[in-house]
Structure 1
Amino acid sequence: MKQDHHLHPSQCPTDWKTAYVTPVPKTCSPQFLTDYRPIAITPISSLLWEGFIFRWTYSHLAPLMDQQQFGNIKSSPTTHCLVNLLDSV
């Protein structure tokens, strides 16, 4: 079966959806499944495209965002929210 390595709109290549999950213990002697943290290793190609898509969408959406938005925004940690609040008070 021939693999199609071309990008198509609204489609993610199947190879990019694969992740290798490694259980990493949270405690010294894990006894339950909840004592493990799953760490997923994804393909480099999908990580590169994720970064590209983030930068592209962020550059288009950033001017539309509220200036009072803090957290989950590049160069705008939640501590800026606290500083802004203290400044207002």
Structure 2
Amino acid sequence: MCRTASVFTDIFNISLSSAVVPTCLKTMTIVPVPKKCIVSCLNDYRPVALTPIVMKCFERLVMRHIKTQLPPSLDPLQFAYCPNRSTDDAITTTLHTWTIRTHMYECCS
């Protein structure tokens, strides 16, 4: 294992065992990104947080561990933070449910 990996392994292990994230990993840079081509006010910007790469790696390791502890079946309506799921799935599911319920209402009234 290279020296850098050894150092990061030690930092991650100490952080996990003490349940404390080092302050230097908690810093991020907020960059305003325009939502539109022409910006006319502050609401036309979306804040994007740039997190240190080391913290992203740490978060990914923790996330993998947490996922192994979760029950195998998450709520079928959980779309965020699930692989191969997106807002498109959430919208499609919502529209499908709405269509079925609207049709049921029309049939029953």
**TM-score, normalization: structure 1?**
0.66
Distance 1:69 1:16 in 2: 34
Please say if 1:53 is aligned against 2:31.
Answer: no
Which structure: greater helix fraction? 2
Letter in 2 for 1:35: D
5+ unaligned residues in a row in structure 1: which ranges?
A: none
Letter in 2 for 1:69: P
Offset from partner CA, 1:21-67 (integer Å, 9 cap, x none): 1111112221211111111110011100111111111012133x35x
In structure 2, the CA distance between the partners of 1:25 and 1:50, relative to structure 1 (3 Å rule), is same
Q: How many residues align?
A: 78
The structure whose RCO (Cα within 8 Å, separation 6+) is larger is 1
Output the aligned Cα RMSD.
Answer: 2.8
Please say if 1:38 is aligned against 2:66.
Answer: no
Letter in 2 for 1:60: Q
Among all aligned residue pairs of Structure 1 and Structure 2, give the percentage whose two residues are the same amino acid: 29
Residue correspondence of structure 1 range 1-89 to structure 2 within 5 A: 6=11, 7-8=14-15, 9-63=18-72, 65-66=73-74, 69-70=76-77, 71-72=79-80, 73-75=82-84, 78=89, 82=93
Distance 2:22 2:28 in 1: 13
Letter in 2 for 1:42: T
5+ unaligned residues in a row in structure 2: which ranges?
A: 1-9, 101-109
Distance 1:57 1:34 in 2: 35
